[in-house]
Amino acid sequence: MRIVQRVFASLLYHRKYAGTLGIVTALFLVLGLSCLIIRDFQRSALNLFQVRLGMIDQHAANISKFPALRQIILVHETLMKNEQTIFVVLLWALALIILIASIVSLIHRRSELIAYRLAGKNFTTISWQFALENVALFLLIYFVVVTLLLCLQAPFMALLERINQRLFIDSLSATLANLKNSPTAAGWGNLNRIFSNQVTPFNGHLLLFGGADLSSSFLTDYSQYFASILWRGGSIVFTASYLPALLYNWHISRTIFE
């Protein structure tokens, strides 16, 4: 348990480093979760669109007749792909920032590392402790961010929905955007004919653009992403801290007794 005590004492002592890393971690968590949730919105919208399309057009005959249908599928898929790419970029950015911060911090803490070494600590144990510091900080920030997001889930989800809508609208081609903005235009006549036998007031406009409006407003429905970002982020933080620490401590061990 002594190591836990040392980890927190060190984090408190190196407040600036911990603060900077804490802000980076918090940004990563909020942006990463937002990406994953928006991707989920798009996936749900696409699934809904395809299910609805499948129900009314079992032989997919209309998809070839109405290019707008194919374009909508493409917009959802592109948005999902973009969110996935942004998430991967975020993971790499986190790894890079942690790596640079670790290297700077290790050089800054050279005398402390020497102190541990002179006190008889193995260089792998010193590196392990350093990595544990960063992982402990990541976990701490994770729990703070998750708690805050759960407390503020209504405005957070509303914001994500607005962003999702904005992204969807911005990705529409000029023709589709015109169609979206004029739900009663004459152009809808052909598509709405598909629904002429339906009892419900469902129409072509709802089919094309309705899916993007439907998303869960409960953050807890996306709990799988919390777990995903926790283990991915945690592993990245550990690896990006442990490896440079191991190399630097090995180097110190070689030079310390010179």
Partner 1 sequence: MFDFRPTKQKNNFIEEWQQAFPKNKLFLIYTPSPATAKKIYRCYVRLFAKNHLLKRIGLITQEKNSILPYLSAKENILISFDNAQVKHTKLWERFETNLISNRDFFETLGKDLTPLQHFYVQFYRQLLAGKKVIIIDTLLDQLPVTVVRQIMTEFDSIIHDIDTSIIILTANQELIQANPQASLDTPPFVQK
Kindly list the residues in this chain that would bind partner 1 in the complex (CB under 8 A): 2, 5-6, 9-10, 12-13, 111-112, 114-116, 118-121, 256-258
Instruction: Name the DSSP letter for residue 183.
Output: T
Backbone angles phi, psi at 11, to 5 degrees: -60, -40
Question: Smallest gap, in angstroms, from Cβ of residue 20 to partner 1?
Answer: 18
Specify whether the CB–CB gap between 142 and 29 falls below 8 A: yes
Q: Rounded to whole angstroms, how far apart are CA atoms 217 and 220?
A: 9
Q: Is 110 or 166 the residue whose CB approaches partner 1 more closely?
A: 110
Q: How far is the CB of 112 from partner 1 (least distance, A)?
A: 6
Crossing angle between the packed helical segments 67-108 and 153-171, to the nearest 10 degrees: 120
Backbone angles phi, psi at 70, to 5 degrees: -65, -40
CB nearer partner 1, residue 15 or residue 81? 15
Which residue do the tokens 């990245």 mark?
236
Given the complex with partner 1, which of 88 and 256 has the nearer CB atom?
A: 256
Q: In angstroms, give the least distance from the CB of 247 to partner 1.
A: 20
Q: Letter for the amino acid at 243?
A: L
Pick between residue 35 and residue 245 the one whose CB is nearest to partner 1. Answer: 245
Smallest distance, partner 1 to C-beta of residue 245, A: 16
Q: At its nearest, how many Å lie between partner 1 and the CB of residue 30?
A: 30
Nearer to partner 1, 3 or 148 (CB): 3
Give the residue from 31, 29, 39, 44 showing the smallest Cα distance to 164.
Answer: 39
